[in-house]
Chains A and B, each alone.
Chain A
């Protein structure tokens, strides 16, 4: 573990309120990363080996169809998590993630975290209680997005 990563993890709002034991376990799987504006954090179908907690900047989540320009379906702001596909097999990203500005983030080794979840179910439960609400909120937001509630259909 890089010195001080436990402090960085502890201060990130996503992990606010977690016990010190859990913080230490998470911190053991982390590193500091940065991406310049326009750089990709990951690309669709790449292995979901590392996900990110944004400390600074914003990230656009994009999907592109052949022959069409990429569509941004969500922006992830500071304090939020980028990447959830590491939670479930086949552990591959389902979209592109691109830095809109200079992004500083905590990179979390997904394999490392999954192994700790498998070997320590209390820790695994604490992690699930953090990530499942994110999944549910994004699913609800997606439902509203799909309804395309503003204006007339074109």
Chain B
């Protein structure tokens, strides 16, 4: 339960209020795509932050953080060489192994691309094991496109169907405009043999699930990553309780089948 104190190796600004922190853990760091760490801004507090780097790169631990609260703002103010506490990894990851042999559809909304990126690295690393690979990305506006250079690099590959759309744009934007769900009917995959990974705001995930279900995808093959305030990260404190589940221990990745009875419930 005690954080290991590491040093920030690199800081990169990704957008107006989004920053990526790189840590080079002395002892290396193993994690599964989709897991998170509790990051400790010394003297301020802890926050649950998804790991956004490559699981195969044990020497670099990467988190992408939006400054939205006291702790996350403190984390995004850290500079190279500053100390940072790391506790983790926690939670269940994306179903990368389960997706072997199937088509894979990844739907990312906004910062939701960050927790999905480790899974994307894994799919690329073992590309022949999977069927068609589809990545649909929705962002608020062109200036907010996360990991833009990486998306451009991926789009040049011939083994991925990648589309990016923004909700709003000026006349100088030549890409797609419209919500991410509008990309779903145009993606080429076999709904009966597909695993879907979705991460983004819950409303966006609800609409995406509806779009996939309309194509015939069963709830058992749709996975979502949930977000709630977390404290202990090991299923003891109850801060992240979501109906009968604890997001930190039972998730953050769930099948939609499991969450369906409570997904979208306002009181939760």
Contacts and interface: CB of A to CB of B under 8 A. Distances in A.
Interface of A: 58, 60-62, 69-75, 77, 79, 98, 100, 137, 140-141, 144-145, 147-152, 154
A151 B66 contact: yes
A77 B186 contact: yes
Contacts of A137: 182
Contact of B169 (A71, A149, A152): A71
B60 interface: no
B203 A147 contact: yes
Nearest to A64: B171
A100 B178 CA distance: 15
B59 interface: no
A47 to B, nearest CB: 24
B179 A144 contact: yes
A60 B168 CA distance: 11
Given A75-B165, A100-B174, A144-B204, 14 more contacts: A69-B170, A70-B170, A70-B171, A74-B178, A98-B171, A141-B181, A141-B182, A144-B179, A149-B203, A150-B110, A151-B17, A151-B111, A151-B140, A151-B144
Interface of B: 16-17, 66, 68, 109-111, 138-140, 144, 165, 167-171, 173-179, 181-182, 186, 200-201, 203-204, 207
Question: What's the dominant secondary structure at chain B's contact region?
Answer: mixed
Given A141-B178, A150-B109, A72 B201 contact: no
- Give the interface centre of A61, A137, A144 by most chain B CB atoms within 10 Å: A144
18 contacts: A69-B171, A72-B170, A73-B168, A73-B177, A74-B177, A75-B178, A77-B186, A79-B186, A140-B207, A144-B181, A144-B204, A144-B207, A145-B179, A150-B139, A150-B167, A151-B66, A151-B111, A154-B16
B173 to A, nearest CB: 6
A109 to B, nearest CB: 27
A149 B110 contact: yes
Contacts of B165: 75
Contacts of B179: 141, 144-145
Give the interface SS of chain A, mostly helix, strand, loop or mixed.
Answer: mixed
A12 to B, nearest CB: 15
Given A147-B203, A150-B139, A152-B68, A72 B177 contact: yes
Contacts of B110: 149-151
A100 B176 CA distance: 10
A154 B200 CA distance: 19
A48 to B, nearest CB: 21
Contacts of A70: 170-171
Q: Which 6 A-B pairs have the closest CB atoms?
A: A150-B110, A149-B201, A150-B140, A144-B179, A72-B177, A75-B177
A8 B17 CA distance: 49
A152 to B, nearest CB: 6
A71 B204 CA distance: 22
Contacts of A75: 165, 175-178
Contacts of B144: 150-151
A145 B139 CA distance: 11
Given A62-B171, A144-B203, A152 B177 contact: no
Nearest to A38: B171
B167 A145 contact: yes
Contacts of A77: 176, 186
Contacts of A71: 168-171
Contacts of A141: 178-179, 181-182
